[in-house]
Structure 1
Amino acid sequence: MTNGKQPESVSSVLKTFGILQALSTQKDIGISELAQRLMMSKSTVYRFLQTMKTMGYVSQEGESENYSLTLKLFELGSTALEYVDLVDLADIEMRRISDLTLEALHLGALDGDSIIYIHKIDSKYNLRMQSRVGRRNPLYSTAIGKVLLAEREEDDVKRILSDVEFTKSTERTHETIESLIDELHTVREVGFGEDNEEQEVGLRCLAVPVYDRFNNVVAGMSVSLPTIRFTEEKKAEYIAELHAAAARISHKLGCKEYPHGK
């Protein structure tokens, strides 16, 4: 900026990370020392620390003025690393299925009340889907969304979708959480989810779950294809390939026994 000043939001971010970095250099530290080290007022440091404490990133040592980092940042970093490992492992399997089917492959994870695509391989046909890594889509109208929800308790599904407005993208899109939950029972039973032209007319999608070492579903992997190329024979073949690939990925993530596709 020409006036040399930073927007308040940028300044707040710099102060936040300055405090976090300072706290990372020693086990605990007081407000006065932090303020002196960062050249900030004690009142500002105190205000930021209280916010970080409320969010769980900082803890206060007893009744003293000393503060220290919690393990929440470590948890965030571990989650990020897990997704990096997951994408690397999935890429190998997704490329193999891509070579076999020539269709689009997606890897998606749960993020709040929607799915977020964390990896994608485009179709080898001319058709290009309007999806990209980092894009969000509804849980209720996507095959990946359904496998991410299927093994959760009904109350948990209702909590996740409590603020979601069910928008009809097509005539086949679920209109209520009750109708979605009915389908989720089937998804759990058969081990795969389907998007039968619910997100986009003329497009079918099949997805299976990927598990971590705690046997929790951490992602969904899918193959998408236009209805003109869809057959029941392909459906069975693609689901089998997806299950075999997801089993190998899950095993490498520490899942001892993949429960589907046997």
Structure 2
Amino acid sequence: MEKTTQPESVSSVLKVFSILQALGEQKEIGVSELSQRLMMSKATTYRFLQTMKTLGYITQEEEADKYSLTLKLFELGAKSLEYVDLITLADKEMRYISEQTNEALHLGALDENAIIYIHKIDSNYNLRMQSRIGRRNPLYSTAIGKVLLAQRENDFIHQILSDVKFIKHTDKTLENEEQLLAELTLVREQHFAEDNEEQEPGLRCIAAPIYDRFGCVIAGLSISFPTIRFDEKRMSYYVGLLHKAGKNISEQLGYNNYQLK
């Protein structure tokens, strides 16, 4: 296996997954046996095992040359399945709102100190928001980011924003944590959040939370409008659509106390 024509980075990835697969097939295994099975040198095998141990994916028996998998891979898989279920449930609700408004819909989740879009439905208009699944945006300047933070304790918010620089994307972007915390108080009261040209000039977004069975906000669902198409008189209608969708999705995830405005 070490005599490969693959680039070194690709070869390393193949070795990592070969080790994981071998450990998955056998509860515990020693360095010598593993290196022989995978046709890698003992030194290389040991180096990979120690790195994977540091990252928390495998564990080593004290004072023994035996390694086994931890539950970290299971945790990653469980998160992936949760998002698959969430996306499937959200897609139906998002398509309904799309039919009613013809505007762009986004489903976003917390990813470290930012939001990440995990599903979207594009607007049917030529003039529309440009986005992609997997794109990250700041928490402080997006409607989804605000609903993801609103139910958190201030200590958590302070910690997650500790390395975040508040960049003025537009004249309306919040400038600091203090301003954000003040707005989050309003988000908690009204149970939805707004991005009023804070992330992009000419773009307005409204978002509502989605809860898991434990009552934790795990995602935000938003409608995005160019400001020239946004009708302030229909705000309650837009919020109602989002709340109904959020309630339906949350109930299917096991949460039955969704707050409607």
State the number of aligned residues: 259
Letter in 1 for 2:163: D
C-alpha separation between the residues in 2 aligned to 1:139 and 1:209? 14
* Amino acid aligned to 1:206: I
Of 220-229 and 19-28, deviating more is: 220-229
- The CA deviation at 1:232 is 2.9
Task: Answer yes or no: is 1:261 the counterpart of 2:252.
Answer: no
Q: Is the 8 A contact 2:141 2:199 kept in 1?
A: yes
1:235-250 correspondence runs (5 A) = 235-250=235-250
What are the within-5 Å matches in structure 2 for residues 25-44 of structure 1? 25-44=25-44
Between the aligned partners of 2:83 and 2:50, the Cα distance in structure 1 is 30
The residue number in structure 2 matching 1:103 is 103
Is 1:227 the counterpart of 2:230? The answer is no
Aligned to 1:116: 116
Q: For residues 246 and 233 of structure 2, what CA distance do their matches in structure 1 show?
A: 20
Residues of 2 paired with 1:256 and 1:25: CA distance? 41
1:156-171 to structure 2, matched below 5 A, reads 156-171=156-171
Question: Which moved further from structure 2: 123-132 or 65-74?
Answer: 123-132
* Equivalent-residue separation in structure 1 for 2:247 and 2:225 (angstroms): 22
CA offsets 1:12-66 (integer angstroms, 9 cap, x no match): 1111111000000011111110010011111211111111111111011232111
Q: Aligned with 1:222: secondary structure?
A: strand
Aligned counterparts of 2:128 and 2:230: Cα–Cα separation in 1? 16
Map of 1:172 onto structure 2: 172
Pairing 1:85-96 to 2, within 5 Å after superposition: 85-96=85-96
Deviation by residue 1:98-135 (Cα, 9 ceiling, x = unmatched): 10111111101111111111111111222121211111
In 1, are the aligned partners of 2:110 and 2:219 still within 8 Å (CA)? yes
Secondary structure, aligned partner of 2:40? coil
Q: For the residues of structure 1 that align with 2:26 and 2:41, how far apart are their CA atoms?
A: 20
Structure 2 counterpart of 1:218, one-letter code = I
* d(CA) in 1 for partners of 2:235, 2:38: 60
Give the match for residue 205 of structure 2.
Answer: 205
Q: What's the Cα RMSD here? A: 1.4
User: 1:252 and 2:246 equivalent?
Assistant: no
Q: Given the two structures, how large is their TM-score scaled by the length of structure 1?
A: 0.95
| In 1, Cα distance between equivalents of 2:71 and 2:256 | 27
Q: Structure 2: state its 5+ residue gaps.
A: none
Q: Kindly, what percent of the aligned residue pairs are identical?
A: 67
CA distance in 2 between counterparts of 1:11 and 1:188 reads: 49
Contact 2:172 2:196 in 1 (8 A): yes
1:77 aligns with 2:77: yes
Q: Secondary structure at the match of 1:115?
A: strand
- CA drift of 1:230 comes to 2.0
The answer to whether the 8 A contact 2:104-2:223 is kept is yes
Unaligned runs of 5+ in 1: none
Q: What residue number does 1:191 align with?
A: 191
Residue 138 of structure 1 is matched in structure 2 by 138
Equivalent residues of 2:128, 2:226 under 8 A apart? no
Structure 1 residue 228: deviation in Å? Answer: 2.1
TM-score (norm 2): 0.95
